[in-house]
Each structure stands twice: as C-alpha cells, then as structure tokens.
C-alpha cells in the first residue's frame, strides 16, 4: 500500500487546465479557423475550385460538426474517461479489493490527479485504522493477549481440525488467587502491572503458534492447547504456576502464599470426543472450582465426561 502515497510526496503543482488539453484545443481552433478563413475567402483565392465555393454552406456545417465531435472526443479523453476510472477505482475499494489507483491518474497535474491522490491517501488511512480497530477487537488492551472474540475465531478452525485429525484438545482455566484482596491492598495500578506480569509468564510458557492464550476478563485467563494429552497439559500448567510463583510478586493479603499465585483447572477432550467450546470451558471451569475448594495455588485436571482427578501436588 506504500506506493499509493508516493505521488503525494511530490509538490502539488496543479494546473486548472492540463497542457495536453490546451494543446489539443489550440490545434482544433487553429485548424477550424484556417478552414473558416479559406471558406470565407474562397472567391479571392484563384486555386479554390468553384465546386467548393458552391457547396460552401455545407462545408461550413461539416467543418463546425467536425470541430464539435473532435472537441467532445478530447473532453472525453481528458476528463470523462479519467473520472470514470476514478469512480471505478472507488467502487473497487468499496467491494473490498484494495489496490492503488491507476498510475496515470496519480501522475496528472490537474484537479483529477489531485483528487486521485487524495482519495488514495484517505482510503489508505482508512485501511490502517480498520486494521488497528480489528486488532483492538481481538486483543485485550491491558495485557496484549487475545480476548474472547479471538478465542472463538481461532477455535472455529481448531475444533474441526482436532476432530478430523483425531487429536486431543486441552483447555487451561487460570484464575489469580485472591486478586480482589491484592487490588484492595496494593491499588489498581499495581493490579494492572500484576496482570501484565502474568501475561508475560503465559507467553514464555505457551510459545507454539497453535497455542491460544487469552484473557477472559478480570483475573481470569484461558489457554487452549491442540494435540496435548491431559498429562502434557497438566505439566505445562504446573510450569506456568511454578514460574509465576518464582517471579515472587508480593501478596501480603493472600492466604495461599506470600506471593501472587494462580489456580488452574485443566480439561482435556480425548481424541474423537465430540466437543464444543462451551462444553470444554465448562469442564475446565469445574476443575478450577475444585482447585479453589482444595485451597487454591494448585492444579486439577480432568477429562471431559470423566471424574475430577485428585489435585496435582504443587508443594515445593
């Protein structure tokens, strides 16, 4: 898209009437004037045939008609056709076919060229703003992780792929332990910084392109892992929990530990299990609820439609 704006880098020296148009009309006027002069002075010119003198009115009409036709052709070539091209370009942008305007329109030094460059510039700016808006609708503004919309968008591809390939699908529901007490004691700016630190830990642990890491809202995060059995997903969850605890963000009001910790509910749909997003999240949420009942700062994993397993040992 960069080449769209290149003509605007040059100084805008517009010409109200382009030189080619002036040249064309000057030539037409010269030829027409010469013809009219010859017809008017036909009797005084010895070499003019008497037949021309006789049919002078007809020739005059033909000469004027030719002037009008040629003038219309010049106007069409210089104005109407470029304007039609400009309209077609704008319609193509509305149809979702981004492309720079025709090069010859951008290079014109008249109002049409100026209009082509300005339209291209405005459409380029609109395209950038739409991309920024789209990114904002898919990402959490605080942590930079994905949001619920990104999760649903990615899973529209991931769930059918997992079914076709007969691979397991795991979800990690992550909740920051006693985060309300943290906010009340340290303040909301510190709470925001804490959530950003947790997001950084998540990025360090879940690095695969297929890993879907999102913030659901508040202090809840979700990770969806493709092709990960329950044991592998639980191992990664423990790595994340241990790394965050090792970071050692102080939490004086937490009954679970003297630093910020998380509880993680892990749910895995075995290969071939018919599963949708809501069922998988409900299973992970049940496992997370069991973590809270078990005292927090722990991990509980379960398979979809299986009994909740015992809490994973998270003692040092």
> Residue 313 is encoded by which pair of tokens?
């040992």
Among the options 156, 219, 307, 310, which is catalytic? 219
Burial 42-68 (b: 16+ CB within 10 A, else e): beeeeeeeeeeeeebeebeeebeeebe
Is 286 tagged catalytic? no
193 φ/ψ sector (left φ>0, alpha ψ -120 to 50, else beta): alpha
Contact assessment for residue 108 and residue 18, using Cβ atoms and an 8 Å cutoff: yes
State how far the Cα of 84 lies from the Cα of 174, in Å rounded to an integer.
57
Cβ contacts of 77 within 8 Å, gap of 6 or more = none
Helices vs strands, H then E, count in the chain:
12, 5
Max CA distance (Å), the chain? 121
Residues labelled as active-site residues: 219
């Amino acid at each position: 898209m960069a080449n769209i704006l290149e003509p605007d880098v040059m100084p805008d020296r517009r010409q109200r009437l382009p030189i080619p148009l002036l040249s064309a009309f000057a030539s037409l006027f010269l030829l027409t004037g010469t013809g009219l002069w010859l017809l008017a002075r036909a009797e005084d010119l010895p070499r003019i045939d008497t037949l021309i003198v006789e049919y002078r009115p007809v020739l005059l009409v033909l000469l004027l008609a030719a002037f009008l036709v040629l003038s219309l052709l010049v106007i069409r070539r210089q104005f109407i056709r470029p304007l039609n091209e400009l309209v077609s370009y704008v319609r193509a942008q509305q149809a979702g076919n981004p492309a720079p305007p025709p090069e010859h329109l951008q290079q014109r030094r008249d109002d049409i060229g100026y209009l082509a460059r300005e339209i291209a510039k405005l459409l380029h700016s609109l395209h950038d703003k739409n991309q920024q808006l789209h990114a904002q609708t898919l990402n959490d503004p605080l942590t930079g992780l994905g949001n619920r919309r990104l999760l649903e968008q990615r899973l529209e591809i991931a769930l059918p792929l997992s079914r076709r390939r007969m691979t397991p699908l795991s979800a990690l529901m992550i909740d920051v332990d006693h985060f309300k007490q943290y906010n009340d004691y340290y303040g909301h700016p510190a709470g925001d910084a804490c959530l950003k630190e947790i997001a950084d830990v998540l990025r360090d642990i879940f690095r695969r392109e297929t890993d879907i890491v999102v913030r659901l809202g508040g202090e809840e995060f979700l990770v969806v892992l493709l092709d990960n059995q329950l044991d592998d997903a639980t191992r990664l969850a423990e790595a994340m929990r241990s790394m965050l605890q090792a970071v050692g963000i102080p939490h004086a009001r937490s009954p679970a530990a003297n630093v910020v910790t998380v509880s993680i509910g892990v749910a895995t749909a075995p290969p071939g299990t018919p599963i949708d997003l809501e069922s998988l999240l409900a299973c992970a949420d049940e496992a997370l609820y069991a973590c809270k009942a078990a005292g927090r700062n722990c991990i509980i994993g379960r398979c979809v439609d299986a009994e909740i397993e015992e809490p994973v040992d998270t003692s040092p």
